[in-house]
Amino acid sequence: MKSLDLDAVKAFVLIVQFQSFTRAAEALDSTQSAISLKLRRLEDQLGKRLLERTPRQVRLSAEGAAFIEAARELVGAHKRAVSAFDTKRRRLVIGISHQLVGAELPGLLRWMNEHDPNLVIELRSAGSVEVLKAYEDGVLDAALVLQPADRKHNGEVLFQESFAWIAAAHWEPRPGHPIPLSTQGETCSIRAAAVRALNDAGISWTEVFIGKGAAIVGAAAAVGLAVAVLAKRAAPSGTVDIGESLSLPALPAQQAVLYSALHDGRSRQALKTLATAFRSLSKTD
C-alpha cells in the first residue's frame, strides 16, 4: 500500500471530531468540496468506506470506527514531530460561560492539545457577565459568552443557542402549584428571560434549585426535582422539552460570541480550533 495522504487523514479526523464536513473545511482553511474529495481519495486508497453521511448527520462506518484511533495517533505524531524544536510554552487563558460547557469539552481539549502540545490552556468558567468583565479587565486572553441576539457587540458570533423548558420524562406538574424552576440564579440572563416570559404569560413559578453550570442545573431536572431552563443541546439523558405540552412561553435564543484581541499565530490558531469546535454544536452542515 502507498503511503497515506496525511492531509486526507487529517481531514477525516476533523470530520469525525466536528461531525461536519463544513466545520472540518473551516478548520483547514479549505472548502467542503475539497474535503469531500480528500475523504474519497483516502477511502479509495484504503479500499474501505469510512463514513456514513446522511442529510442530517455524519457518522463512522464500522471500518471508520476501526480506523479512527490509528488516524488520530498518526495526526498527533505528525504534529509532535513538526513542533519538536518549538519547545517554548505559551499560556492561553480562556473564559467560557458555564452555560456553554458541555459533554463535548474533553474531546475539544484533547484536540487542542494535539494541535499544540506546548500550549498551556487555562480554562475558567463562570456566568457570561463575569467572564466578559474579566476579559475587559485584561484577566483573560479570550472570552466565549452568551449574549442576546438583538444586542450589538464587537465579537465573533459562533452560533445561536436555543433554550427550552427541560424536565424528566416522567415529571408531571402538580395542579394548583407553581412551576418549580432550576436556574443559575438572579445574575443569569437566561433565568431573567425565563421568569420574565412566565410573568408576562401569567404563569406562577418558584425557584427550588440554584446551581452553576448546565450539568448541575440539568441534574435537578433529571431527577424530577424541577424544570430546568437549559440549552436544548445540554439537556441530560432521560429529559424532554415540556414547553409545548404545558403551553409554556417560548424562550429567546442567545448568540455564542467569542472575544479576543490576540494576534500571535499560535494563539490565533488555537482560538480558531476552539471556534470551529463550538460552531459544530449547532450541527449544521
pLDDT tens, residue by residue, 31-74: 999 999 999 999 998 999 999 887 777 889 999 999 999 998 88
Total tally of structural domains belonging to the chain = 3
Residue 237 buriedness (CB in 10 A; 0-12 / 13-18 / 19+): exposed
Closest listed residue to residue 273, CA positions, set 285, 261, 283, 258: 258
Give the CATH number of the domain where residue 94 resides: 3.40.190.10
Q: Are residues 38 and 108 in the same domain?
A: no
For residue 129, the SS3 value is helix
- Write the pLDDT tens digit of every residue in 181-234: 999 898 888 899 999 999 999 999 999 999 988 889 999 999 999 999 998 888
Q: Are residues 271 and 131 in the same domain?
A: yes
Put simply, whether the predicted model's pTM sits higher than 0.85 gets the answer no
Q: Are residues 151 and 175 in the same domain?
A: no
Q: Are residues 127 and 204 in the same domain?
A: no
Q: Are residues 248 and 181 in the same domain?
A: yes
Closest listed residue to residue 47, CA positions, set 59, 64, 70, 24: 64
**Does residue 21 lie within any of the structural domains?**
yes
For residue 163, the SS3 value is strand
Task: Judge whether 256 and 159 are in contact, CB under 8 Å.
Answer: yes
Q: Are residues 23 and 53 in the same domain?
A: yes
Q: Are residues 28 and 69 in the same domain?
A: yes
Give the CATH number of the domain where residue 66 resides: 1.10.10.10
Mean pLDDT of the chain: 86
Q: Are residues 20 and 60 in the same domain?
A: yes
Which distant-in-sequence residues (6+ apart) come within 8 Å of 113 by Cβ? 119, 121
**Does residue 1 lie within any of the structural domains?**
no
Domain extent, residue 266, equals 90-155+255-282
Q: Are residues 269 and 131 in the same domain?
A: yes
**Does residue 208 lie within any of the structural domains?**
yes
Mean pLDDT of the region 7-22:
88
Q: Are residues 110 and 72 in the same domain?
A: no
Among 82, 109, 137, the domain-final residue is 82
Question: Using N-to-C axis directions, what is the helix angle for 105-115 and 265-279, rounded to 10°?
Answer: 150
Task: Give the range with max mean pLDDT: 13-22, 145-154, 208-217.
Answer: 208-217
Task: Judge whether 117 and 80 are in contact, CB under 8 Å.
Answer: yes
Q: Are residues 139 and 177 in the same domain?
A: no
